[in-house]
Amino acid sequence: MKSIKMLSYINRCWVFLIPALLILAAFRPAPQVSAIDGYSTQGAASAYAPLIPEHTPIKFVRTVFHIMQRDDGSGNFPDDSASRQWLTYLYHNHSSDAMGDLRPMNLPTASPYIRDSRIRFQLEGIYFHQDDYGWNMAHDSHQMGEKLYKKYVLDDPGTVYPQSAIHIFIGGQGSSHGRASGIASGKWILVSSVYKKYLQGNHWIPAGLLRHELGHSLGLIHTWNAPDRCDDTPLNAGCWNVNEPAKPECATPSNNVMDYNACQCALTACQMGRMHQALMGKFGKVDNVLVTDFCRRVDPLLTINSGDSVVWVADRYLKSDLRIEPGATLVVQGAIGMPRSSRIVVRPGGRLIVENGRLFQPCGGQWKGIKLVKGKRQGKRVMGSLEITGKGKVEHTR
């Protein structure tokens, strides 16, 4: 009799509980990309450097161009196909592609040479504005940048990605110089004299200037006049080119992106690491411009090869399945975002160690978790292994 009464009581509870759960679900906010900073030790900037390029999926940064013409529409690029093609392919894409084909540093450095920064720029739109004030960047200022950003971005409902792209205002008047809204600030950039260089058939100088200003937006500081928080970027004399100006210290000029020089085509490991840190939300306010293409699988399979022993200290978003081959070891100390429906396969004799790290799905979905494969290796039956130590976690699996 007591059992029947208890069952009746439980049934009555479910009658009230199920509607309550449905109401709560209805008011639950939509899933958002979750922040991963604060979970694990941030690590030094060098931990974020793409020493093994394929272990750092390429990060894409949203950008938008605003061409500032005079009030009568003159003095800068006209809104035609030739201008748009040059702005996209020679100016923007040259700036972006160079981030994957960097040169070795001219000056002595403790940094290893890393050719690919694993950062690219993605152009989302080109707008043309008639505005004498914005056209004349001979005396640009932070105030000018804020005014243009408010008028043509925040207050213009037709502008794409108003608060999730770096908006680049290209003036007509002024010498080749630029200004960013701040260090690790994903708001705006001012650049000038691009049209003048276009008429001269010169795309590499304005492309280098754009990389320089985007470097500021992604967390980098000048390297020639003060320490830049990176031990591997040498102070230098600020020379433009070889023997320009004509003084002994300009026999070997810097070619670093964050100096004023003719190339602006090299970065150190620490500089790359700082940009990746900023885009992962470790400092500043620039992670808003990161393209969230890591929610689903878009990259080829990432493999930790046999015999390799790899430690991932830095947090990262993967965009693919992950496979650990026989005899390979991967130690996860950071927070690793896995794309939806992805899987980690640990083959026989492979090891996955989650050492105070975190494996999770950052976009409000689930991933398929970890598969440990059985098989033979060197005549013995073995299987892939998973070890979770310290505060290690494996989350959001199905």
Domain 45-279 grouped into CATH 3.40.390.10:
yes
Q: What is the mean pLDDT of residues 263-274?
A: 96
Instruction: For residue range 88-134, list pLDDT tens digits in order.
Output: 999 999 999 999 999 999 999 999 999 999 999 999 999 999 999 99
In tens, the pLDDT along 3-59 reads 434 334 334 443 443 344 333 333 333 333 433 333 233 358 889 999 999 999 999
Rounded mean pLDDT, 209-230: 92
Confidence of residue 396 (pLDDT cuts 50, 70, 90): confident
360 DSSP β-pair partners = 337
Sequential DSSP letters for 8-71: HHHHHHHHHHHHHHHHHHHHSPPP-PPP-BTTB----GGGGS-SSGGGSPPEEEEEEEEEEE-T
Neighbours of 283 (CB within 10 A): 16
For the stretch 315-358, pLDDT in tens is 999 999 999 999 999 999 999 999 999 999 999 999 999 999 99
Distance CA 360, CA 36 (A): 10
DSSP for 189-221 reads EEE-SHHHHHHTT--HHHHHHHHHHHHHHTT--
Give me the pLDDT at residue 379, please: 79
Cis peptide before 19 (omega within 30 of 0): no
pLDDT mean over 297-309: 96
Q: Which tens digit of pLDDT belongs to each residue from 52-78? A: 999 999 999 999 999 999 999 999 999
Domain map (residue ranges) of the chain: 45-279, 302-394
**Residue 270 pLDDT > 90, yes or no?**
yes
Q: What pLDDT does 36 receive?
A: 35
Q: Are 332 and 352 in contact (CB under 8 A)?
A: yes
Percent residues over pLDDT 90 in the chain: 79
DSSP strands (E only) in 206-333 = 302-304, 309-312, 316-317, 322-324, 329-332
Q: Is there a contact between 197 and 175 (Cβ–Cβ < 8 Å)?
A: no
